[in-house]
Structure 1
Amino acid sequence: MNQLEIPSWCQIRASFKSIWGYEDFRFPQGEIIHNLLAHKDALIIMPTGGGKSICFQLPALLQTGLTLVVSPLVALMENQVAELQQKKLPVALLHSELPPWQRRKTLQALEQQNLRLLYLSPETLLSPKVWEKLCHPQLKINALILDEAHCLVQWGDTFRPAYRRLGAVRKTLQKSKPPGTKISLAAFTATADLEAQKVIQQVLQLQKPQIYRLNPYRPNLHPKVSIAWTPRSRQQQLLSFIKEFVQGNSQQAGLVYVRTRRDSEELSTWLQNKGYITASYHGGLDAEERRNIEAKWLNGTIPFVVCTSAFGMGINKPDVRWVAHYHAPLLLSEYVQEIGRAGRDGKPARALTLISEPTGWLDPEDKQRQKFFSEKMRSQLLSAQKLIKKIPVMGEVNAVAEKFTEGEVVLSLMHSMGKLEWLDPFKYRIKKCNSSGLSTQLNAIGQTNQYLMTKQCRWKFLLNAFGFNEQAQNLRCGHCDNCQR
């Protein structure tokens, strides 16, 4: 049974200062740390750069036993783990790109209970060898942390179906441990609208979670949406925007976001041909290439990167002065995450989003992209509904995945529609119900379009979308494009 090891406030602050060098916590870091040390569930929504990682790292280091951190991207894991390992702390990571010797070393450290924090992806967590080690009765597990929890909503239905199985992890782990074992579960994210918050709580099966929500409003961040009437106009507007920050001796850091790997490569090549020092960054690059680009951007060798959403999570660069969305994100949570990478130092920063003209006659690119996504999602939902008749009422995810194309994705979609429950992270049962709801993502696209076309204060719209209605009530920020008109 877990013994509650809650250090005194003086001990907590002393450890905080000795590890990170800070005198005191920012609100609500101290409260979150106390909550996790008391083995209670939590949902934490704090803006980018708000110090979320310290809130689960410090409790893990103050207790004996292991804290599992489920993280979506290799780059994000590596950045956080490297920082802690430099401080000689008992932290490790597991992911598919590790060399075999390093994987063996980490699994051995896990067996010997030498770790306090273990970072891994949902897929690695549920891989047979790792799961077997985690289920050992003598391995003490204190907490399961879901970092960047918005990815559960953003990717869990189709792209990363393992996310949908995480709700069964705690219950199954507890069965393998001594009676009375408590494992707390906490979800951390910078952005989650009201619907996303509901989905995160339901999927993870959070038990009476303490909810910490910080207002995402950033008075130094100036959002603007501009219509590009033609593809050439989109290019020229981007060039004009970049020139304001990157010319001659002025090399102010920024990011250009696109939606696909191909877009990233083609646009970065075009900008290089225009004389700019930049690089393409996406999930298809190998680990060494990604690390190299990140390092050059952090030290200013490359002033800006043309990237997909794979770039930025967990990378802390306070002096980013601008973010450009060459293509608008599909979800508002993505948008707020990505513009939030600018102006972390509190100084003025600008965020430009380029969109096609509303009819789509002169530049159909945005409409085609959304149509492709929506049609693919609807096709997958239809496949899920057909597959219900073909698979056993109770079964095992790997057996379904072997027998049917995209079988794992279909099970995930059935779970999101309320037609399936996970008995453990590997076994499912189909439920008898009439639910046939659309994916959360399909509903969210409409909200993003409303934001892009709104005439009201952009920050007011965002605060309402994320559930901060009271703070939005009389807001007119004065520094978004709509207010400045």
Structure 2
Amino acid sequence: MQSIDAWENVKLAFQNIWGYSDFRPPQGEIVRALLKQQDALIVMPTGGGKSICFQLPALLQTGLTIVVSPLVALMENQVQELREKGLPAGMLHGELGKSDRAATLKAIESGKLRLLYLSPETLLSKPVWERISQPQVQINGLILDEAHCLVQWGETFRPAYRRLGAVRSALLKSKAEGSQIAIAAFTATADPVTQTTLERVLQLRSPQKFLINPYRPNLKLQVKTICTPRGRRKQLLKFIQSHPQKSGLVYVRTRKDSEELAEWLQKQGLSTAAYHAGLTPKVRRTLEGDWLHGKLQFVVCTCAFGMGINKPDVRWIAHFHPPLLLSEYVQEIGRAGRDGKVAEALMLVSEPTGWLDPEDKQRQQFFQSQELKQRQIAQQLSDRLPSQGNIEAVCRQFPQGEIALSLLHGTGQVQWQDPFHYILNRAAVTQKITQNLAVQRMNQYMTTKQCRWQFILESFGFSVEAKSLGKGCGYCDHC
């Protein structure tokens, strides 16, 4: 238990760095848990001030806190903000210049950094792993930011996520006796299944849980069924025009979609641009700045946009295509109305049969068939993989090796001894695949007649809060 004086110093540091007089619940409790080196699982709505909860403890301790982040844009935004305050934060990613990379690696060795942002792939790369494993490099904590990405992307798209649970024990082998490394997972959306997966994969030890429901009474939800691709564009245009000069975001699912739709909307006289991960870092930063400062009314973006970007006055979000998962949807609508004023979220969906506009159905079927194909390859490969070995050798021999090991880890057939060596147990009972259930939940949301906020709250395990809304929220198209 921290003394009152020590806690006053924590609050003073918070005030000096961020200018706030006190924490918002449950920020203070989370900061206390991390300062005590306790594992934690934090589910807080977008805009709830999650990053401060791990940045402050990191800055108050000697040693390094590693922040695993899924997107370069997200790392750059957070590190830039910290550096502008003169705080010792660094990042490593593939788009970094050689001299910046060398300077950051040197800063790790000399103990000059308090926060290091990187992706799971960079964390497990040889140059980084060698440096953080050095006995003199003190590691205080491993923070998983946007932790839902481990579940959404970890099996097929970003398999390195599945090896993060072996990081702590491997690092502690090279550290002084009695060293501790706390692990904390932060996300805005995690249903009970996702929470269980995070606990299991990250090997959290009796984690402190802070679960805040995503309900936002200022956010009005609407789902509109459209019958043709032309009708979809017209509905979107009508929605945007009903919010003249108001800041917003249009979400699409692919890079190609973002470019084609942005071009069409520009021809309608609207101030917009396409944003996706295929653009250069310089172009992405320019577009973010133009949107943040009102030079662009909105951007037509993939899920690569918005994580960690704080713009309080976003008045509307439009989903031109429905997201595959309800958790993605809640993440993306959460970027609107952070200032507490009324905001709207519209999702456009094809009529359920798919006869007149098969786009949504085809998109979902493609996603599911790709995933099924990868699972089949993984099962076939499991018979050919050595029963134990290292990931480097497997990847050299089998192009799909890393994804196969990741999928087999998801079904309980692979155990990681450390982040680079595995044991395969073919006789293990395979666990149920839950991604398809999550896809079904999204489909149910699109067609439900229930209050939409009640549906979301129930889906994320907040049944009591859903009941407290009584006959409905009064803020969605069903209420």
**Same fold, TM-score > 0.5, yes or no:** yes
Counterparts of residues 125-136 of structure 1 (less than 5 Å): 125-136=123-134
The gaps in structure 2 that reach 5 residues or longer are: none
What letter corresponds to residue 9 of structure 2 in structure 1? Q
- In structure 1, the partner of 2:474 is 478
Distance in 2 (alpha carbons) for counterparts of 1:92 and 1:385: 40
- In structure 1, the partner of 2:174 is 176
1:458 to 447, 452, 458: 452
Asked if residue 274 in structure 1 is aligned to residue 268 in structure 2, the reply is: yes
What letter corresponds to residue 285 of structure 2 in structure 1? R
1:407 is displaced (CA, Å) by: 1.3
SS at match of 1:176: coil
1:111 is displaced (CA, Å) by: 0.6
1:307 to 301, 309, 313: 301
Counterparts of residues 26-425 of structure 1 (less than 5 Å): 26-246=24-244, 251-425=245-419
1:436 is displaced (CA, Å) by: 3.7
CA displacement 1:50-77 (0-9 Å, x = unmatched) = 0000000000000111000000000000
1:381 is displaced (CA, Å) by: 0.6
Distance in 1 (alpha carbons) for counterparts of 2:105 and 2:41: 29
Distance in 1 (alpha carbons) for counterparts of 2:437 and 2:420: 28
Asked if residue 428 in structure 1 is aligned to residue 422 in structure 2, the reply is: yes
What is the percentage of aligned positions where both structures have the same residue? 61
Distance in 2 (alpha carbons) for counterparts of 1:436 and 1:425: 21
1:441 is displaced (CA, Å) by: 2.1
Distance in 2 (alpha carbons) for counterparts of 1:432 and 1:294: 47
Distance in 2 (alpha carbons) for counterparts of 1:311 and 1:194: 26
1:71/1:120 contact within 8 Å kept: yes
What letter corresponds to residue 187 of structure 1 in structure 2? A
2:41/2:209 contact within 8 Å kept: yes
What letter corresponds to residue 474 of structure 2 in structure 1? G
Cα RMSD (Å) of the superposition?
1.2
Distance in 2 (alpha carbons) for counterparts of 1:100 and 1:56: 28
What letter corresponds to residue 416 of structure 1 in structure 2? G
- In structure 1, the partner of 2:6 is 8
What letter corresponds to residue 47 of structure 1 in structure 2? P
Relative to 1, partners in 2 of residues 1:359 and 1:338: Cα closer, same or farther, differing over 3 Å?
same
1:118 is displaced (CA, Å) by: 0.5
1:274 is displaced (CA, Å) by: 1.2
2:382/2:404 contact within 8 Å kept: no
Relative to 1, partners in 2 of residues 1:166 and 1:5: Cα closer, same or farther, differing over 3 Å?
farther
Relative to 1, partners in 2 of residues 1:7 and 1:284: Cα closer, same or farther, differing over 3 Å?
farther
Q: TM-score, normalised by structure 1?
A: 0.97
Distance in 1 (alpha carbons) for counterparts of 2:286 and 2:311: 15
CA displacement 1:403-462 (0-9 Å, x = unmatched) = 112211111111111111111101111124353445432221001101111000000000
Distance in 2 (alpha carbons) for counterparts of 1:372 and 1:210: 39
1:463/1:471 contact within 8 Å kept: yes
Distance in 2 (alpha carbons) for counterparts of 1:150 and 1:218: 20
Distance in 1 (alpha carbons) for counterparts of 2:313 and 2:156: 35
SS at match of 2:318: strand
Distance in 1 (alpha carbons) for counterparts of 2:434 and 2:378: 15
Relative to 1, partners in 2 of residues 1:194 and 1:447: Cα closer, same or farther, differing over 3 Å?
same
1:157/1:439 contact within 8 Å kept: no
SS at match of 2:332: helix
The gaps in structure 1 that reach 5 residues or longer are: none
Distance in 2 (alpha carbons) for counterparts of 1:218 and 1:142: 34
CA displacement 1:13-42 (0-9 Å, x = unmatched) = 110010001100000000000000000000
| Count of residues in Structure 1 that have an aligned counterpart in Structure 2 | 476
Relative to 1, partners in 2 of residues 1:7 and 1:200: Cα closer, same or farther, differing over 3 Å?
farther
Q: TM-score, normalised by structure 2?
A: 0.98
SS at match of 1:314: coil
Distance in 2 (alpha carbons) for counterparts of 1:474 and 1:310: 34
CA displacement 1:167-225 (0-9 Å, x = unmatched) = 00001001111112110000000111111111111110000000001111000000100
Distance in 2 (alpha carbons) for counterparts of 1:13 and 1:56: 14
